[in-house]
């Protein structure tokens, strides 16, 4: 098969973060500051990415503002010709720093939202005072006219506030709202009972998003990630493994997706050991699940194989025990009963389920 060049790169600059959200997309084994790549190595990675065909760079973490060199990194990304998105909780973005980021050409900010009011948001983020600081940062972003996306991470404990979330996005002047229902990898799997929404919440969410999307067309664009355990068919994870995006983690390992390290038999190359181009086109990890030939007959004979590529490899491993299996979310999967069992278990244990918060890396 012909491998296309990647479009987007996620740069996890650090795993450090003042928040400790119980669904953090970082791995459960977090990397500390001493293993992080330095400024020059990141700058070189951005240059290589641009030459490889990457158009969109997501500067993320952890909290990317925890990196003292965030402004230098943003400048390097823009000089490489990349469109720069800053994916942040807002904590650590002082007015002075926002001025500096604007001056070096930051294109866009994606601000996370844990909840619509301080009690809820600070409890979920595990950081007292975080909501108030975030709202202040949102106002600073708005005052400068920096394009803003609000990323509302949604789950059982805040989905009933979706209407207010949408209102807030409009009030904050966001052009785009991600209604990102928690996907269950890493930390989130430790909190499934507390986070999995009910079927009723899921149906209401789909209805509300569709209604708001029609009403706010031209004002607020929506990206909706539904809770996939209730879906008939799996999500098109990463648009297909190794087809559109890649991820560099704080110590320089290059992954096909942020959760790929949960697949233990894959070995990931580091940007410090091998050119990014070789890693993308030639490394065994990136070629492991490219295309659809590796999939079972259930998928290969399915009319949706070109739409969802058999779903998420990490989820196939986590639930079905085989990273090459049909994503068990699919109703055609022979392992679908395992998803149903997880749902039943989560609903049974939901009342009184406490969060296991993400811990701070050293």
Minimum CB–partner distance for residue 8 and another protein (Å): 8
- Annotated binding-site residue numbers: 17, 21, 24
CB under 8 A: which stretch of 48-56, 192-200, 248-256, 339-347 binds another protein?
Answer: 48-56
Question: Measured from the CB atom, is 106 or 121 closer to another protein?
Answer: 106
C-alpha–C-alpha distance, residues 67 and 41, integer Å: 14
Q: Do 19 and 63 meet the contact criterion of CB atoms below 8 Å apart? A: yes
Question: Measured from the CB atom, is 1 or 29 closer to another protein?
Answer: 1
Question: Measured from the CB atom, is 128 or 217 closer to another protein?
Answer: 217
Told to check if 296 binds another protein by CB under 8 A, we report no
Strands 254-255 and 245-248 turn out to be: antiparallel
258 burial level (CB within 10 Å; 0-12, 13-18, 19+): buried
Binder among 3, 28, 52, 225 for another protein (CB under 8 A)? 52
Question: Measured from the CB atom, is 136 or 146 closer to another protein?
Answer: 146
Tokens of 121: 């948001």
Q: Per DSSP, which regions of 144-279 are E strands?
A: 148-154, 176-181, 221-225, 245-248, 254-255
CB under 8 A: which stretch of 88-96, 143-151, 196-204, 280-288 binds another protein?
Answer: 143-151
Alpha helix (H) residue ranges in the chain: 39-52, 70-79, 95-103, 118-125, 130-144, 162-171, 192-195, 199-215, 276-282, 284-287, 297-300, 305-308, 313-315, 336-349
Told to check if 78 binds another protein by CB under 8 A, we report no
Minimum CB–partner distance for residue 178 and another protein (Å): 9
Told to check if 2 binds another protein by CB under 8 A, we report no
Q: From 114, 71, 54, 67, select the one nearest 89 (Cα to Cα).
A: 114
Binder among 25, 85, 191, 247 for another protein (CB under 8 A)? 85
Question: Measured from the CB atom, is 116 or 149 closer to another protein?
Answer: 149
Strands 254-255 and 176-181 turn out to be: unpaired
Question: Measured from the CB atom, is 213 or 335 closer to another protein?
Answer: 213
Question: Measured from the CB atom, is 126 or 147 closer to another protein?
Answer: 147
Told to check if 7 binds another protein by CB under 8 A, we report yes
35: Cβ–Cβ under 8 A, 6 or more apart, which residues?
Answer: 250, 251
Binder among 35, 69, 81, 225 for another protein (CB under 8 A)? 81
Residues written for the chain: 362
Told to check if 170 binds another protein by CB under 8 A, we report no
Told to check if 83 binds another protein by CB under 8 A, we report yes
Told to check if 104 binds another protein by CB under 8 A, we report no
- Annotated binding-site residue numbers for [4Fe-4S] cluster: 17, 21, 24
Told to check if 306 binds another protein by CB under 8 A, we report no
Q: Which helix (H) or strand (E) holds 12?
A: strand 8-12
246: Cβ–Cβ under 8 A, 6 or more apart, which residues?
Answer: 6, 8, 9, 10, 54, 254, 255, 256, 279, 280, 286
Minimum CB–partner distance for residue 52 and another protein (Å): 7
Site for another protein in 211-250 (CB under 8 A): 214, 217-221
C-alpha–C-alpha distance, residues 62 and 14, integer Å: 5
Q: Which residues bind another protein (CB under 8 A)?
A: 5, 7-8, 51-53, 55-56, 58, 81, 83, 85, 107-108, 110, 145-147, 149, 175-176, 214, 217-221
């Amino acid at each position: 098969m012909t491998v296309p060049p990647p479009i987007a790169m996620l740069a996890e600059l650090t795993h450090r973060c003042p928040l400790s959200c119980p669904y953090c997309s970082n791995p459960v084994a977090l990397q500390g500051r001493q293993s992080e790549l330095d400024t020059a190595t990141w700058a070189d990675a951005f240059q290589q990415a641009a030459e490889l065909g990457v158009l969109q760079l997501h500067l993320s973490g952890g909290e990317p503002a925890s990196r003292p060199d965030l402004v230098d990194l943003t400048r390097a990304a823009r000089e490489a010709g990349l469109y720069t998105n800053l994916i942040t909780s807002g904590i650590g973005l002082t007015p002075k720093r926002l001025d500096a980021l604007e001056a070096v050409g930051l294109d866009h900010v994606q601000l996370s939202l844990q909840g619509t009011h301080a009690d809820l948001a600070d409890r979920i983020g595990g950081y007292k005072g975080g909501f108030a600081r975030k709202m202040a940062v949102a106002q600073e972003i708005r005052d400068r006219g920096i394009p803003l996306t609000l990323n509302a991470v949604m789950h059982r404990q805040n989905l009933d506030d979706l209407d207010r979330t949408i209102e807030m996005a409009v009030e904050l002047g966001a052009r785009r709202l991600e209604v990102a229902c928690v996907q269950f990898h890493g930390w989130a799997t430790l909190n499934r009972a507390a986070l999995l929404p009910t079927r009723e919440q899921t149906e209401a969410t789909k209805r509300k998003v569709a209604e708001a999307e029609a009403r706010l067309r031209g004002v607020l664009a929506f990206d909706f990630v539904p809770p996939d355990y209730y879906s008939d068919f799996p999500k098109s994870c990463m648009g297909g493994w190794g087809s559109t995006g890649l991820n560099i983690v704080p110590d320089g390992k290059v992954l096909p997706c942020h959760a790929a390290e949960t697949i233990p038999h894959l070995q990931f190359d580091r940007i410090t050991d091998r050119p990014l181009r070789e890693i993308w086109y030639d490394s065994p990890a990136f070629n492991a699940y490219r295309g659809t030939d590796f999939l079972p007959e259930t998928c290969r004979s399915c009319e949706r194989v070109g739409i969802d590529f058999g779903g998420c490899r990490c989820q196939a491993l986590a639930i079905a025990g085989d990273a090459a299996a049909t994503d068990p979310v699919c109703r055609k999967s022979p392992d679908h009963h395992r998803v149903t069992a997880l749902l039943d278990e989560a609903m049974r244990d939901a009342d009184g389920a406490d969060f296991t918060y993400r811990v701070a890396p050293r």
